[in-house]
Amino acid sequence: DAMVIQNPRYQVTQFGKPVTLSCSQTLNHNVMYWYQQKSSQAPKLLFHYYDKDFNNEADTPDNFQSRRPNTSFCFLDIRSPGLGDAAMYLCATSTSGTDTYEQYFGPGTRLTVT
Protein backbone atom coordinates (compact mmCIF):
# COMPACT_ATOMS: atom_id res chain seq x y z
CA ASP A 1 0.00 0.00 0.00
CA ALA A 2 1.17 3.49 -0.79
CA MET A 3 1.91 5.32 2.41
CA VAL A 4 3.81 7.87 4.46
CA ILE A 5 6.34 6.36 6.87
CA GLN A 6 7.99 8.07 9.80
CA ASN A 7 10.95 6.81 11.77
CA PRO A 8 11.39 6.45 14.60
CA ARG A 9 7.92 6.46 16.15
CA TYR A 10 9.37 7.53 19.48
CA GLN A 11 12.56 9.51 19.94
CA VAL A 12 14.21 10.60 23.17
CA THR A 13 16.97 13.19 23.04
CA GLN A 14 18.84 15.28 25.55
CA PHE A 15 18.50 19.01 25.94
CA GLY A 16 20.73 20.62 23.31
CA LYS A 17 21.63 17.39 21.51
CA PRO A 18 20.84 17.52 17.77
CA VAL A 19 18.22 15.12 16.54
CA THR A 20 16.94 14.11 13.11
CA LEU A 21 13.52 12.76 12.31
CA SER A 22 12.84 11.07 9.00
CA CYS A 23 9.91 10.72 6.68
CA SER A 24 9.55 8.66 3.53
CA GLN A 25 6.67 8.21 1.14
CA THR A 26 5.69 5.77 -1.56
CA LEU A 27 2.90 7.97 -2.93
CA ASN A 28 5.22 9.79 -5.34
CA HIS A 29 3.80 13.09 -4.15
CA ASN A 30 5.86 16.16 -4.90
CA VAL A 31 4.80 18.19 -1.87
CA MET A 32 5.96 17.23 1.63
CA TYR A 33 5.13 18.95 4.90
CA TRP A 34 6.40 18.93 8.47
CA TYR A 35 4.05 19.78 11.31
CA GLN A 36 4.61 20.14 15.04
CA GLN A 37 1.73 19.11 17.28
CA LYS A 38 1.73 19.71 21.00
CA SER A 39 -0.63 17.99 23.36
CA SER A 40 -4.31 18.79 22.77
CA GLN A 41 -3.48 21.31 20.04
CA ALA A 42 -3.95 21.44 16.32
CA PRO A 43 -0.95 20.67 14.10
CA LYS A 44 1.26 23.66 13.37
CA LEU A 45 2.93 23.83 9.97
CA LEU A 46 6.70 24.28 10.23
CA PHE A 47 7.65 24.17 6.54
CA HIS A 48 6.99 22.38 3.31
CA TYR A 49 8.75 21.40 0.12
CA TYR A 50 7.21 21.87 -3.27
CA ASP A 51 9.52 19.54 -5.19
CA LYS A 52 12.91 20.90 -4.12
CA ASP A 53 11.61 24.37 -3.31
CA PHE A 54 11.72 24.94 0.42
CA ASN A 55 9.01 27.08 2.04
CA ASN A 56 9.49 28.12 5.63
CA GLU A 57 6.63 29.39 7.77
CA ALA A 58 7.37 32.85 9.11
CA ASP A 59 7.23 31.81 12.77
CA THR A 60 9.25 28.59 12.51
CA PRO A 61 12.30 28.92 14.77
CA ASP A 62 15.75 28.79 13.18
CA ASN A 63 16.44 25.79 15.40
CA PHE A 64 14.38 23.73 12.95
CA GLN A 65 15.85 22.81 9.59
CA SER A 66 14.81 20.43 6.86
CA ARG A 67 16.36 18.49 4.01
CA ARG A 68 14.79 16.76 1.07
CA PRO A 69 17.45 14.77 -0.79
CA ASN A 70 14.95 13.22 -3.23
CA THR A 71 11.22 12.93 -3.89
CA SER A 72 10.73 10.09 -1.43
CA PHE A 73 12.57 11.33 1.65
CA CYS A 74 12.39 14.36 3.87
CA PHE A 75 14.22 15.02 7.15
CA LEU A 76 13.56 17.32 10.06
CA ASP A 77 16.65 18.44 11.94
CA ILE A 78 16.39 20.07 15.33
CA ARG A 79 19.79 21.60 15.98
CA SER A 80 19.54 22.24 19.72
CA PRO A 81 16.33 20.82 21.16
CA GLY A 82 14.83 22.59 24.11
CA LEU A 83 12.24 21.29 26.52
CA GLY A 84 9.62 23.26 24.61
CA ASP A 85 10.33 21.25 21.46
CA ALA A 86 8.89 18.09 22.98
CA ALA A 87 5.93 17.30 20.74
CA MET A 88 4.54 14.99 18.10
CA TYR A 89 6.07 15.69 14.70
CA LEU A 90 3.92 14.84 11.73
CA CYS A 91 4.97 14.44 8.13
CA ALA A 92 2.41 14.80 5.36
CA THR A 93 2.38 14.72 1.58
CA SER A 94 0.18 15.97 -1.22
CA THR A 95 0.18 16.18 -4.96
CA SER A 96 0.43 19.43 -6.84
CA GLY A 97 -2.27 20.68 -9.13
CA THR A 98 -5.95 20.16 -8.56
CA ASP A 99 -5.55 17.57 -5.79
CA THR A 100 -3.18 19.59 -3.64
CA TYR A 101 -5.91 20.34 -1.14
CA GLU A 102 -5.74 16.85 0.41
CA GLN A 103 -2.82 15.90 2.64
CA TYR A 104 -1.80 12.38 3.62
CA PHE A 105 -0.23 11.96 7.04
CA GLY A 106 2.31 9.61 8.51
CA PRO A 107 1.91 8.09 12.00
CA GLY A 108 4.10 10.74 13.60
CA THR A 109 7.22 10.74 15.75
CA ARG A 110 6.83 11.62 19.39
CA LEU A 111 9.87 13.52 20.57
CA THR A 112 10.80 13.64 24.24
CA VAL A 113 13.51 16.04 25.42
CA THR A 114 15.19 15.23 28.74
Partner 1 sequence: AQSVTQLDSQVPVFEEAPVELRCNYSSSVSVYLFWYVQYPNQGLQLLLKYLSGSTLVESINGFEAEFNKSQTSFHLRKPSVHISDTAEYFCAVSYLEDSNYQLIWGAGTKLIIKP
Write out the residues near partner 1 by the rule CB under 8 A: 6, 40-43, 45, 50, 88, 90, 92, 94, 100-108, 110
Nearest residue (CB) to partner 1, 53 versus 77: 53
Beta carbon of residue 80, minimum distance to partner 1 (angstroms, whole number): 26
For residues 114 and 100, is the Cβ–Cβ distance under 8 A? no
Spatial distance between the Cα atoms of 51 and 71, rounded to a whole number of angstroms: 7
Beta carbon of residue 82, minimum distance to partner 1 (angstroms, whole number): 22
Beta carbon of residue 4, minimum distance to partner 1 (angstroms, whole number): 8
Spatial distance between the Cα atoms of 17 and 48, rounded to a whole number of angstroms: 24
Nearest residue (CB) to partner 1, 7 versus 80: 7
Q: For the chain, how many helices (H) and strands (E)?
A: 0, 11
Q: What size, in residues, is the chain?
A: 114
Nearest residue (CB) to partner 1, 13 versus 107: 107
